[in-house]
Structure 1
Amino acid sequence: DTSSVIGISLWFSEDSNSKEDIICTSERAFERFSNLRFLLIHGKEFKEAINSRSLNYISRKLRFLSWKGFGMPCLPSSFHPEFLVKLEMPYSKLGKLWDGVRVTAQTSQGDGFEFFGKLERAP
């Protein structure tokens, strides 16, 4: 039952060049993980291994997202994690987090929001 999963951690070898590492090309890969709180995607370059558009279908309950090499220039407009407190996007193509102003439940309560990555423009 995917609704009972609260965390997913994908770590791949930096040395691997195998086509077998392409594990998820579906945009709806995380759609059924309705209680997902933690998502870590690290290892080799994931531009081809994980479809970046899968964030369109990620749980709003997500608290921690760490995605090395995220392939899009900004987060999808439908990405609304209401409880996100930490976002790590090293080696990503992010130039900005998203269009417009987004306030999560955590940031509006003063609990601090952390971002680790390189941005051209902050929201």
Structure 2
Amino acid sequence: MPVSAPNVLPIVLLLASNVFMTFAWYGHLKFTDKPLWLVVLASWAIALIEYCFAVPANRIGHEVYSAAQLKTMQEVITLIVFAAFSALYLKEPITLNVAIGFALIALGAFFVFKGPF
């Protein structure tokens, strides 16, 4: 598949989207002293930004990728972003069990893109 804006832009937008969503969902774990209602509102505000990246990613990406391929990309990008976030921001190590689990999910992604069988 040749490299073009519809091929690459969705990946870039999904990457940005996942950074925001990871912070929306897990960033508050470092702020357990804050009231839950406040972290929910902050998470919603961050998630709105995430949607501003995710929706165009899927709209543009659907020109060249199937919906299943877009969802698979999103999941693999989520795992990559989450692994980095978990290790760097939350200071939680990536254990062998987690790495194997993520690798099996990546193997599933391979089969979504490889085919048809």
Q: Say which structure is richer in helix.
A: 2
Q: What TM-score, normalized to structure 1?
A: 0.27
Q: What TM-score, normalized to structure 2?
A: 0.28
Q: Radius of gyration: which is bigger?
A: 2
